[in-house]
Amino acid sequence: MKARKTLIALSLLVSSMATAPAGADDGHQFPQGATFSTLITTPLAIEGMTGDNQGNLYAPGRAIVAGAACPVWRINIENPSLVLVGLIPAPSPTGLCAPLGLAFDHAGKLFVTQTDRIFSFFPNADTPPVADLFATGVPGTNGVAFDRDGNLWTSDGTTGQGRVWMISPQGVVTEVFRVQPMANEVNLVAGVGGVGRDIRNLPPGTITVTPASRNAANTAGSQPLVANGLAFDEDGDLFVSDTARGAIWKVKLDRRGNVQSTMGCDTTFTANTLCLDNLFAAHPLLEGADGIALDRAGNIWVSANERNAVIVVTQNGRQVIEVFRNTPDAVTRLRNTGPLEFPTSPVLSDRVFCTANADLNRRDNSPTTAGEIGGAGQNRGKVTCLNQGLSVRGMTLPVR
């Protein structure tokens, strides 16, 4: 086992850092010389996105006015326009509506995360409904995915605790496991401390550069998010993207949703914390891994937000491949001019790959004013799609 893990680690280290085809043992090639085009821009920022297996994308806008509801738009890939199909209520008259992940169940009902609760509704372009409250008690709820039994799974996002919950069709919430946080809390004094690592994004973080060192100049840019995007494979196992580590975790589950993967190896974390041997792939190309989506061969497509890149982890974790990354501007040498502007949520619609773009001010996407969105008088969000068709179709969701 130890030798096998060493071989996997070595293969990841020698994976190509540029656009490259998968090896012959993967059975097909990924797009070479990939290019992206804007499908549509949105007046509000978007982060989450899903599809309906009929060539339509769905994305919720994030409100900029306190107390205002958030629109959920349907976007047809062949004939793109923003069609209002539902509304997510604001958390309070003075709070901002800020939806993230969303997913369809088997009945065609759409479930959308919002701060610490989840809403649901049947999309209707003729009479867009206000979504109903489905579940509460999921602070930071972010990525979502349905298992084959109709349970909704969700991650805790930027809270950084790594929690993943299962929510029954009746709305009963159960914490199932945790992705190991970047630091434990055994030495906290008045909430300050931690033993581990603090990953920072530059910008907004900065460093002081001298001939002898490259040390932090401020405390901005911390990235604690370890449980982000979720996706099930056809075997019923769950993949979780780890934004801070640049990694994908694989969690083996039985038919009842019980974790079969090892947990509790490190007693400084909760007993339901995954052991590190459940890391499926870890690679610098995956830094900023956000949303994930699987194709029918089991390859994992990743929107790497802070790198303005799209990455594929091949089946069984054999290779980590960069399909596309923004080219640096010839003058500024920054990668913030597009076409990707902080890509967040990938969707594989048959043979078409699209991703939402949130245009946040981090790392490769900083400053946000240089691209197609986010500047003065510009729209705030967009969907970009790969111009080349996929060799392998996307998985039909939800899994069955």
pLDDT in tens, 187-238: 999 999 999 999 999 999 999 999 999 999 999 999 999 999 999 999 999 9
Q: Given a cut of 60, is residue 247 above it in pLDDT?
A: yes
What is the b/e burial string over 108-132, where b = at least 16 CB atoms within 10 angstroms of the residue's CB?
A: eebbbbbbebbbbbebeeeebeebe
* φ, ψ of residue 307 in degrees (nearest 5): -100, 0
Does residue 22 carry a pLDDT above 60? no
Rounded CA separation 379/150 (Å) = 36
Contacts for 2 with CB less than 8 Å, ≥ 6 apart: none
| pLDDT given at position 230 | 99
CATH topology of domain 2-183+216-386: Neuraminidase (2.120.10)
Query: For residue 324, what are the β-bridge partners?
Result: 310
Whether the CB-CB separation of 226 and 181 falls below 8 Å is answered with: yes
* pLDDT score at 29: 76
- Measure the CA–CA gap between 238 and 133, rounded to whole angstroms: 25
Q: Are 310 and 304 in contact (CB under 8 A)?
A: yes
Question: Confidence class of residue 16 from pLDDT cuts 50, 70 and 90?
Answer: very low
Q: What share of the chain is helix, strand, coil (3-state, %, to 5)?
A: 10, 40, 55
Q: Which residue in 85, 127, 91, 89 sits closest to 110, CA to CA?
A: 85
Paired strand residues for 135: 118
Distance CA 77, CA 74 (A): 10
Given a cut of 60, whether residue 302 has pLDDT beyond it is yes
The pLDDT, as a whole number, for residue 223 is 98
- The SS3 assignment for 252 reads coil
Report whether pLDDT(11) > 70: no
Give me the pLDDT at residue 28, please: 60
Average pLDDT of the chain, as a whole number? 93
Side-chain-side CA neighbours of residue 131 (13 Å): 31
Q: Which whole number is the average pLDDT over 13-23?
A: 38
Can you say whether the dihedral through the CA atoms of 101, 105, 110, 114 is positive or negative?
negative
19 against 336, higher pLDDT = 336
pLDDT above 50: residue 2? no
For residue 33, is pLDDT > 80? yes
Strand partners, 113: 118
Q: pLDDT, tens digit, for every residue of 143-178?
A: 999 999 999 999 999 999 999 999 999 999 999 999
**Residue 17: pLDDT band by 50, 70, 90 thresholds?**
very low
pLDDT tops 50 at residue 336: yes
With a CB cutoff of 8 Å and minimum separation 6, the contacts of 324 are 19, 34, 35, 36, 309, 310, 340, 386
Q: How far apart, in Å, do the first and last CA atoms of the chain sit?
A: 32
Average pLDDT rounded to a whole number, residues 326-338? 98
Using CB atoms within 10 Å of the CB of residue 281, give its burial: 0 to 12 exposed, 13 to 18 middle, 19+ buried. Answer: buried
Report the C-alpha gap between 34 and 64 in whole angstroms. Answer: 34
Q: pLDDT digit string (tens) for 120-135?
A: 999 999 999 999 999 9
CA nearest 400: which of 274, 232, 263?
232
pLDDT at position 126 is 98
CB atoms within 10 A of CB 322: 22
Reported pTM: 0.92
- Whether the per-residue pLDDT at 323 is higher than 90: the answer is yes
* Eight-class DSSP state of 392: S
Res. 109 pLDDT band, cuts 50 70 90: very high
Q: What is the pLDDT of residue 26?
A: 55
Instruction: Map tokens 């060493």 to a residue.
Output: 6
Domain definitions of the chain by residue range: 2-183+216-386
Task: Please state, in angstroms and rounded to a whole number, the distance separating the CA atoms of residues 396 and 294.
Answer: 9
